[in-house]
Amino acid sequence: MNRRIEKNRPKPAAPEPRGNFSLRAWREQHLYSLFSSLGRLAARPWATALTLAVLGFALALPLLFWLLLDNARGLAGNVGEAGAISAFLKPGTDVTAVQAFAARLRARADVAAVTVKTPEQGLDEFRERSGFADALKVLHYNPLPAVLIVDPRGDPGPLAAQLRADPAVDQVQYDAQWRQRLNAILVLALRGAQVLAGLLALAALLVIGNTVRQDIAGRSEEIAVMQLLGAEAGFVRRPFLYSGFWYGTFAGVLSLMLIGIVQVILAAPLARLTAAYDHAFAAHGLGIAQMLAVLAASAALGWLGAFLAASRHIVLGQPR
């Protein structure tokens, strides 16, 4: 061990360091914080991985839920047809009258589409579908009326009532019960989805805040020493903001990866589903722009969480 004490006389004391933080000093400090915070994360790879996993999950879950809802809405659109109103016209209404009636309906604001089913089409369909082929052979003439299949836009109730009152219409079939069930299910699903998404977003915020808080608690000695040595509040806070930023960014990347994995797992049943729908409905994932938005948002969230936690917890050790 070297026990020699340097005997050169020290140089004259420098003047009191004034607040002359030059641009260069500012850059030095930011680089220092950037590297030290990254180095810190790398120095504890296990702890960092664990924290990132928690954050990644917390971010991926609301995203997945949002995707699910978005896709479900597309699916529900295809099922909407079930709410169509069938108007049976008086038997014997002639073809031009039927077409005129259909045109009148199409012009209404609360009608999305009208399909005309002539008595002949009706009979063909009836033969094919109902298994009464033999029974219907005994019919000597076509007893079926023309039918208008009306797709309502918005609330179908008043439309159905008006059709029922129309003199040209014999009978209106509108499965109110089925409609009601579908509505109830959709409302329930939506409400449930909102509640769950809210809970998940809250959980993500809690996790980030808690992580940064514990990070600060674990480095309280470092914070105290920096403050003792005359570090400004901003300087002390900076490494935490940077690590919050890194946490957020990496967690965002991780959540995107998780979403990708889930998409791969769901790919096969999804393909079967879209095939069942004659590819009328296509499931979609996140686009590039959405991915970038997720990354930016998670980085911002990390920074914000760190800022809140740091502002709240880095006050100790300072006299009033």
Partner 1 sequence: MIAFDRVGKRYPNGFDALSELSFALDAGEMAFVTGHSGAGKSTLLRLVALLERPTRGQVTVNGRNLGAVRRRGIARVRRGVGMVFQDHRLLLDRSVFDNVALPLVIAGVPREEMAKRVRAALDKVGLLEREKSAPSMLSAGEQQRVGIARAIVAKPPVLIADEPTGNLDPQLAAEIMGLFGEFQQVGTTVLVASHDLPLVKRMGKRVLVLDHGRLIDDFQPRNTGP
Binding site for a second copy (CB under 8 A): 47, 50-51, 53-54, 57-58, 60-61, 64, 68, 75, 86, 88, 91, 129-136, 138-139, 143-145, 170-171, 173, 177, 180-181, 183-185, 187-188, 191-192, 195-196, 199-200, 202-203, 206-207, 209-210, 213-214, 217-218, 258, 262, 265-266, 269-270, 272-273, 275-277
- Alpha-helical regions (H) of 107-142: 119-130, 133-137
Alpha-carbon gap, residue 283 to 303, rounded angstroms: 33
Chain-centroid distance, C-alpha 272: 23
Stretch that binds partner 1, among 75-83, 111-119, 172-180, 230-238 (CB under 8 A): 230-238
**Strand ranges for 73-118 from DSSP E:** 85-89, 111-117
Confirm or reject binding of residue 312 to partner 1 (CB under 8 A): no
Which residues within the stretch 235-274 sit at the binding site for partner 1 (CB under 8 A)?
235
Which amino acid, one-letter code, is at 64?
L
CA-to-CA distance for 202 and 303, rounded, in angstroms? 16
The nearer residue to a second copy, 31 or 195, going by C-beta atoms, is 195
Coil, strand or helix at 12 = coil
The residues, any chain, with a CB within 8 Å of residue 30's CB and separated by 6 or more, are: 238
Round the CA-based radius of gyration of the chain to a whole number and report it.
Answer: 35
- Interface residue with partner 1 among 51, 211, 227, 243 (CB under 8 A) is 227
What gap in Å lies between CA 100 and CA 93, rounded to an integer? 11
Region of residue 278 (phi > 0: left; psi between -120 and 50: alpha; otherwise: beta): left
Number of residues counted as binding partner 1 (CB under 8 A): 41
Query: Of the two residues 14 and 109, which places its CB atom closer to partner 1 in the complex?
Result: 14
Asked if residue 46 binds partner 1 (CB under 8 A), the reply is: no
For the chain, the distance separating the N- and C-terminal CA atoms, rounded to the nearest angstrom, is 44
Q: Which does 2 bind (CB under 5 to 8 A by kind): a second copy, partner 1, none?
A: partner 1
Q: CB nearer to a second copy: give 131 or 230.
A: 131
**Residue type at 186 in one-letter notation:** L
x-marked contacts with partner 1 along 177-216 as a string, rule CB under 8 A: ----------------------------------------
Query: Is residue 318 at the binding interface for partner 1, with CB under 8 A as the rule?
Result: yes
Burial class for 3, CB neighbours closer than 10 Å (0-12, 13-18, 19+): exposed
Binding residues for partner 1, rule: CB under 8 A, are: 1-6, 9-17, 19, 21-22, 24-26, 28-29, 32, 43, 221-222, 224-233, 235, 318-320
